[in-house]
């Protein structure tokens, strides 16, 4: 079923889980295909942005910190997953503007 839809995510498993989980009495034929497509798209987005974070940090292995950086630096993903805590993700580096030293321009007379 997944190959017919051109997806990597298992449509049959998504269909079985939808039927089993009592979301609705009946599950249409297109629902698991659409849900699998959305899940596959989100996974691809996460992996692409986290891969960029890995490359920016000059590392070769992806860790939860890279997922955290990818999600929190992307406006739409941050809105979608705003209330989600990622284990071992750490926090975003942020220094308040008032704390930063202000450069003073001295005029030589």
**Residue 95, in any domain of the structure:** no
**Residue 46, in any domain of the structure:** yes
What does the alpha-carbon distance between residue 62 and residue 11 come to, in Å, rounded to a whole number? Answer: 27
**Residue 108, in any domain of the structure:** no
The three-class DSSP label of residue 31 is helix
Q: Which domain holds residue 11?
A: 2-80
Residue 108's pLDDT band (cuts 50, 70, 90):
low
**Residue 60, in any domain of the structure:** yes
**Residue 7, in any domain of the structure:** yes
pLDDT tens, residue by residue, 19-76:
999 888 899 999 999 999 999 999 999 999 999 999 999 999 999 999 999 999 999 9
The three-class DSSP label of residue 9 is coil
**Residue 9, in any domain of the structure:** yes
pTM, 2 dp: 0.78
**Residue 25, in any domain of the structure:** yes
Q: Which residues of 61-100 are buried (b: 16+ CB within 10 A; e: fewer)?
A: eeeebbbbbbbbeeeebeeebeeeeeeebeeeeeeeeeee
**Residue 33, in any domain of the structure:** yes
> What integer pLDDT is reported at residue 74 of this predicted model?
93
> What integer pLDDT is reported at residue 107 of this predicted model?
65
């Amino acid at each position: 079923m997944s190959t017919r839809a051109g997806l990597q995510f298992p449509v049959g498993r998504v269909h079985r889980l939808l039927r089993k989980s009592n979301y609705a009495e009946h599950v249409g034929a297109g629902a698991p295909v659409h849900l699998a497509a959305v899940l596959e798209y989100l996974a691809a987005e996460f992996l692409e942005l986290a891969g960029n974070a890995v490359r920016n940090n000059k590392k070769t292995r992806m860790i939860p910190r890279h997922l955290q950086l990818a999600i929190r630096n992307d406006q739409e993903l941050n809105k979608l997953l705003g209330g989600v805590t990622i284990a071992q993700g750490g926090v975003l580096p942020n220094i308040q503007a008032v704390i930063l030293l202000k450069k003073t321009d001295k005029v030589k007379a």
